Amino acid sequence: MDWKNIHIDATTTLLLQRLDDKLQHIKQVRPLPAAALARIKEGLSLEWTYNSNSIEGNTLTLQETKLVLQDGMTVKGKSLREHFETVNHHDAVAYIESVAQAAKPIAEYDVLHTHALVLDKIEKDFSGRFRNAGVRITGANFTPPNARKVYDLVHELMHWVNQESGYLHCLVRATVFHHRFVWIHPFFDGNGRTVRLLFNLLLMKEGYPPAIILRNDRKKYYDALNKANAGDYSKLLLLTCQAMERSLDIYLSNLDDDAEDYKPITSIVEESAMPYGYGKEYISLLARRGVIDAYKEGRVWYTTEKAIHAYVKGRRRKRRLNG
């Protein structure tokens, strides 16, 4: 598997450009109102903790996660470990946010300290320490490397992400880092939460907000990681970009009074009198593939009439050019 040889197709290139344009628009309206910025960051931090923990099996709901973090409450029927996982991840997010502001590359200390925060009060014997024995991952299509190779592999990955990958778009670089870290599996436990924190650290250092992998996309996420094991990063990169687009759209919808109104695809197709020429199934497929500006909440895809118009207009232009 040549994890350093990454191919980006034309559709993904356009998607990356769309994300860059949205980020640039957000930067143009800065400085952001303090109240709005605090509200957005607090909401994303809460969702980040809830979704990342839920992917790993934590059963606290989003509302219960909020009660634990903001009100210090204990939720009846939930284990002490689940409460600790929530507080730990929240502390780790705060650390990642502070490191993202520093003008220095991500270091091995950041990896170990983030992991230590993730497992604090849970598995103190293993927190912040690379594994010293073999592990197997249920449902994965690979076996992580021998423990004796872990330090060198992590060192190689850190050197690559800091010194050798500057030619890649930051979303591509962070996606490859994400997969390679999971493949190395440097810790006995907490690898998933740790890598989703570090992956976002790389993005936040470039001015992007965190890209939150949703719990509803858990199966798609693991399938994408398995495909990346065979050298195919397309699914994982698409998932990363869609997660990022959702976060960017949250900023834009809160900051721009002229922002386009995102609606469920079904609603747009049924309510609009515009002659799209496409049904909701086809437009949903375009959203899932990242072809049009869209994001997902739960199991529902949202887009705008402007995004569909742009796609239809582009298709018609191609037909005219092709005769």
| Residues that are catalytic | 185
Report the run of H or E that residue 303 belongs to, with start and end. Answer: strand 300-303
Q: Six-digit token pair at 19?
A: 């994300």
293: buried, middle or exposed (CB in 10 Å: 19+, 13-18, 0-12)? buried
Q: Six-digit token pair at 145?
A: 């490397």
Question: What is the residue whose two structure tokens read 């500006």?
Answer: 293
CB 6 within 8 A of CB 173: no
CB 153 within 8 A of CB 184: yes
Between strands 300-303 and 294-297, the pairing is antiparallel
- Strand order through the sheet with 263-264: 263-264, 300-303, 294-297
